[in-house]
Amino acid sequence: MAEHGIGIIGCGMIAEYHTRAINEIDGARVVAAYSRTRMNAEKVAGLAGHDCRIYDDLGAMLRQPDLDVVCVCTPSGAHMEPAVQAARAGKHVIVEKPLEVDLARCDVIIKSCDDAGVRLCAIFPSRFSPANRRLKEAVDAGRFGRLTLGDSHVKWWRTQEYYDSGGWRGTWRLDGGGALMNQAIHNVDLLSWLMGDVDSVVAHTAMLTHLRIEVEDTAVASVRFRNGALGTIQAATSAYPGLSKRIEIHGDRGSARVEQDDLTLWDFQEKIPSDNIILAAIAGRSGVNSGASDPRGIAHVGHRDQIADFLAAIDEDRPPFVDGREGRRSVEIIRAIYRSAREGKAVPLPLVDDPSAS
| DSSP string for 99-112 | S-SSHHHHHHHHHH
Distance CA 103, CA 7 (A): 25
Residue boundaries of the structural domains of the chain: 4-125+300-323, 129-293+331-343
C-alpha distance from residue 155 to each of 160, 240, 245 (Å): 16, 8, 7
Helix (H, G, I), strand (E, B) or coil at 149: strand
CATH number for the region 129-293+331-343 comes to 3.30.360.10
CA atoms within 13 A on the CB side of 213: 30
DSSP 39-100: HHHHHHHHHHTS--EEES-HHHHHT-TT--EEEE-S-GGGSHHHHHHHHHTT-EEEEPSSS-
Burial class (CB in 10 A: 0-12, 13-18, 19+), 132: buried
DSSP 156: -
pTM as predicted: 0.95
Beta-sheet pairing, 4-9 with 28-34: parallel
C-alpha distance from residue 312 to each of 23, 119, 309, 321 (Å): 16, 11, 5, 10
pLDDT per residue as tens, the chain (358 positions): 789 999 999 999 999 999 999 999 999 999 999 999 999 999 999 999 888 999 999 999 999 999 999 999 999 999 999 999 999 999 999 999 999 999 999 999 999 999 999 999 999 999 999 999 999 999 999 999 999 999 999 999 999 999 998 788 999 999 999 999 999 999 999 999 999 999 999 999 999 999 999 999 999 999 999 999 999 999 999 999 999 999 999 999 999 999 988 999 999 999 999 999 998 888 766 555 566 666 666 789 999 999 999 999 999 999 999 999 999 999 999 999 999 999 999 999 999 888 764 4
Helix (H, G, I), strand (E, B) or coil at 128: helix
C-beta separation of 196 from 329 below 8 A: no
* Second CATH level (architecture) for the domain 4-125+300-323: 3-Layer(aba) Sandwich (3.40)
